[in-house]
Amino acid sequence: MAKTTLRDKVWKDVLARTVKGGNAVRPSEVAEKTGASERMTRQCLLSIVDTGLIERRADPNGEVRYVPSPNVDYSFD
């Protein structure tokens, strides 16, 4: 069985909190929770954005959050 990497932990945390939980996340929160560096976390977040599952949003004050994409059906039935 393959060993779980930090990138795996980041992906799982982000998808659980955004796609499944419907919440926005900040890179610093994800990094702190998973133990990954903020750089790795941002790279993973951008990869997830590329899949279309989440979107990157910047507030007027420059704070970046990642939110579930409204274009994806998130039903888990």
Read off the CATH number of the domain in which 10 is found. Answer: 1.10.10.10
The verdict on residue 21 lying in a domain is yes
* Domain hosting residue 23, numbered range: 6-68
Number of domains composing the chain: 1
Whether residue 76 is predicted with pLDDT greater than 60 in this model: the reply is: no
The verdict on residue 1 lying in a domain is no
Residue 71 has what pLDDT?
79
Q: How confident is residue 20, by pLDDT bands cut at 50, 70 and 90?
A: confident
The verdict on residue 49 lying in a domain is yes
- What is the tens place of the pLDDT at every residue in 24-68? 999 999 999 999 999 999 999 999 999 999 999 999 998 999 999
CB 31 within 8 A of CB 6: no
CB 53 within 8 A of CB 20: no
Residue 14 has what pLDDT?
96
Residue 74 has what pLDDT?
59
- 52 Cα distance to chain centroid: 11
> In sequence order, which ranges of the chain are alpha helices (DSSP H)?
6-15, 27-34, 38-51
The verdict on residue 76 lying in a domain is no
pTM for the model: 0.87
The verdict on residue 73 lying in a domain is no
